Structure 1
Amino acid sequence: MPRKRMLWPGYFDSEQLATLTLPACRTFEGFWVFADDRGRMKYDPDQLWADVWIKRRRIDNISIDDVADHLEALVTNGQLCHYRVGGADFLHVISWDEHQKINHPTPSKLPPCERHQGQEWAKWWRADDTATDRWRQLEKRAKQTRNGGEAGPFSESLPESYVSRSGSDRENSEKPSLPAEMGYVSDSVSDSVSECRATTSQCSSVQFSSDQASSGGNVRQFTRPSQRDRKVMP
């Protein structure tokens, strides 16, 4: 069963849309129909022209360039948002959630808009779905480049302010204070443990050498002082 798509009643009473030409409004209507269930679409005037205008090409004489102009006018007028992710261009309806409610929507295979869909962007940024991974990886590499050139393999999960700092600044920055039960030991505790281990090892070595003297290359068996004067019972 196809999902229901409809224009809201206020569409024809909109002051913003009233400033656009009728062909631009028709292109916008087609965008609502052919966008995915999150109101997104790749920026492709050719495809949108084929979906909306091909049957009226001899009547209205609307070209692909005209559709591109319609999209630009809709972006300027505030109906659409043109955004770029991973080197690709996308469009989405800014007021989609306000006017379109779809039961059991199909998850979008296009990346969200960081500006208008912040929560979805944060979730998408950490996801690993194969449908959008190519754009995500390209965008992450682009952000690393903007944050100061080459970055380490884990820099994409760090704050931008951390990535942009120099290595010496990061080394001199304050280390996180984590509880010992999580496996983190501070420098002072670590040094004490190292000294204790070295002392224990050295003391054991001294005791071994003093109590176990070698005679003729053979090692004499060690006997505790408490056992030296003990009489052997028959």
Structure 2
Amino acid sequence: PVKDTYGVVYLIFGRNNANTLDIDLSPSQFVGGASTGFRISGGGTASKLGQSVAAAGDVNGDTYDDIIIGAPGTTYAGRTNCGAAVVIFGRSAASTFDDIDLASGIASTAGFSILGAAAFDELGYSVSSMEHMNGDSYSDLILGAPNVNGVFGATSMGGSVWVLYGRYTSATIDLSSMNAFGAVFLGLPDNSKLGTAVVGLGDINGDGLDDFAFSAPGQAVSAMLSAGGGYVMYGQT
């Protein structure tokens, strides 16, 4: 059964015929499988898995598209509500599609987790991806943590946006130790809540690299408190 506030995400497969398919998503009735889909259950109380969900492109270079799911309420290693995201790898239609319970961890063949840097960051509040941001063959990830407070020089509730490059390995990424390749953007001034929304844009300036945008809805502009702001960033090698 799905535990209260853990969160759950259902991945439902497309069909190549016009037949209707009724699917009961109640915890006791859902039956997954190769023709239906599968269920991903959150890893802890109030982890809020499914707060954000996005297509991730091919993050690990195996030719199958992947998905990324945010769980901003995740607590890990004493970091209350540090937040997390999980990447679930795509695979052949001939594969077995069992439900995934993140309380038991995730197999390296199934995907990997990304853990927030500090308590109350709420990493995974927003998630998205880009196919060719840095010019390699892997899709890259964008993650928002709008409540970041003082980590890596961030201001109080300034928020942050993380860009993580795709890779062929499936090791857990813990942002507290910066064991990842990519970039981090920090919100200024206080209460900007940078990363409340993130989105991949495709190649908007025609340079062959994908671009992305993110919001800071609490950002002050001159004397206008909480006027908000949005930023567009160009891809680069």
Band the TM-score falls in, shorter-chain normalisation: under 0.3
Question: Which structure has the larger Rg?
Answer: 1
Structure showing the higher helix proportion among its residues:
1
TM-score (norm 2): 0.19
TM-score (norm 1): 0.19
Structure showing the higher strand proportion among its residues:
2
